[in-house]
Chains A and B, each alone.
Chain A
Amino acid sequence: MLRFLSILMLIVFAALPASAEKVVAGLSQNRVSITATFVGSEILIFGAVKRDTPPPTDSPLQVIVVVEGPAHPVTVRKKDRRFGIWVNSDSIELAAAPSFYAVATSAPLTETLSILDDLKHVISVERSIRISDTPFTNQDPRDFTRALIRIREKSDLYKLMENSVELQEETLFNTRIALPANVTEGDYRTRIYLTRAGTVASQYETVINVQKVGLERWIFNLAHEQPLIYGILSLVIAIAAGWGASALFRVILRT
């Protein structure tokens, strides 16, 4: 095993300088503000490949872009029929699952990335969900992680967009990642990988900061930090709004 690993390391380190390609990238924005009218946001990710020697011709260059939202522990529950109705029965706690996960590639993922490098760099969404420290159950955790991925794919939070990275002459690339309106706050880790023959040749990493701002920020903070004041305030505002609306309506009807 040890020998196998050391050979592996050798191959990896030997392979890296040989390719000698470096990725340089930029984002259209590295800050996303959630305001009252936030309907989602699209981020343009672009870059170029810097190299000192002519590109190798044996295998084509591929690009993978990963945008990953903050990870939280989640509970996945399964419904079962009990007494004729469908109720939550079994559940599993996953140690961490990203709240958002988008993978964009320049070719089908299986052609772009080897399983080994996927494991090493944690690229496909299955790898990013941690179930290791889940307490023992007789349930197969893979059913639950697959369900989690399926549900989040439906609400546009997890997505794999193959062939969506535009690559020109093995040098310039760009892609767009859409953040839907239901994203959560936090730092979105953004990674860009260059691969050749399924092996990562170079990588670049940056962060997109997603934050509630203005009124949204203020309301959210107040509700969590001063819940009693927030509760009283929402009662007062609601009573005032109700009263105001009915008074206004009466005035309108009279005239």
Chain B
Amino acid sequence: MQIYLPIAEVSVNAFLLLGLGGIVGILSGMFGVGGGFLMTPLLFFIGIPPAVAVATEANQIVASSFSGVLAHLKRKTVDLRMGVVLLIGGLIGAALGVQLFNALKAIGQVDLLVKLSYVLFLGIIGSLMFVESVRALMKTRGGSAVPKRRKHTWVHNLPFKMKFRTSGLYISVIPPILVGVLVGILAAIMGVGGGFIMVPAMIYLLGMPTKVVVGTSLFQIIFVTAFTTLLHATTNYTVDMGLAVLLLIGGVVGAQIGARIGVKLKAEQLRVLLALMVLVVCGKLGLDLLIQPTELYEIGQAGGH
């Protein structure tokens, strides 16, 4: 069934969108990731304009993270104070990101920015994850786990210290704000929640306990992506309501199925799979930039919008 998307101004198959949402949902349920970093490139591949894909994906992430945040709040696994500090950084980052996005859109380089960011981040995260999970796989076969030590790093010597009781931390607010800014920028230009950057940063850089990491990052993501959605909607008019709802319905159902599959697989195997998938998407986007395109010209709207 073809459906006409009023904002993207293209006609696409509704079942294709539901299916895409479902597949990405299954993957995100299996691996416990947001899925924005997979969905946005897939939307490029089916012909949704990148500006619409990025803005709409931000909208979708708000909705798909909503029930997760509620569950974590109920279980009290959200460090609200840390969440608010990360959020302040995130809002600044999102505002900067949308400015950058619009400036590059005006000179016709926004596609390049979005695609390069994807290649860069997916490449780094994918290879790190791959190396780390292969190592973990080897270790579980060897049968010995090395206990983690908490180190006193440069992070602990910065000013403006603050107590974060839920996380049991007494650290400077500068690193979490910087992490928030980075994630906000990524949310605005890549249409991702940024969990894949924030979660490792919270664990390794800030030293937060693992049990509050997911809830806190979701708490930050939901507000930052909501803010990003509003910024894109008011400056670019690129949020497509219909597209978001279709992807979401598929995504929510997929996530539930994925979560059930995920329980049956081993965590290390899952991570190897996820790492491979991230690298495949990265490779495809990278090749598109490297190989000479068949059509060297492209049409854009004149003089901005």
Contacts and interface: CB of A to CB of B under 8 A. Distances in A.
A binds B: yes
B146 interface: no
Secondary structure call for the B interface: helix
Interface string B264-299: 000000000000000000000000011111011111
A91 interface: yes
Interface in A149-193: 150-152, 181-182, 184
Interface residues of A, number: 60
Interface residues of B, number: 55
Interface stretch (A8-16, A18-26, A35-43, A104-112): A35-43
Nearest to A82: B112
B117 interface: no
A232 B239 CA distance: 11
Interface string A58-88: 0000000000000011111111110011111
Contact of B66 (A37, A91, A182, A242): A242
B157 interface: no
B9 interface: yes
B62 A239 contact: yes
A115 interface: no
A122 interface: no
Interface in B199-215: none
A94 B303 CA distance: 11
A197 interface: no
Contacts of A233: 241
A37 B234 contact: no
A241 B248 contact: yes
A79 B237 CA distance: 26
Interface in A195-254: 212, 215-216, 219-220, 223-224, 227-228, 230-235, 237-239, 241-243, 245-246, 249-250, 253
9 contacts: A34-B4, A78-B296, A87-B109, A184-B9, A219-B242, A228-B233, A237-B241, A238-B244, A238-B245
Given A39-B11, A93-B303, A184-B9, 12 more contacts: A35-B4, A36-B242, A37-B1, A80-B296, A151-B299, A181-B4, A224-B237, A230-B233, A231-B229, A232-B230, A238-B63, A242-B66
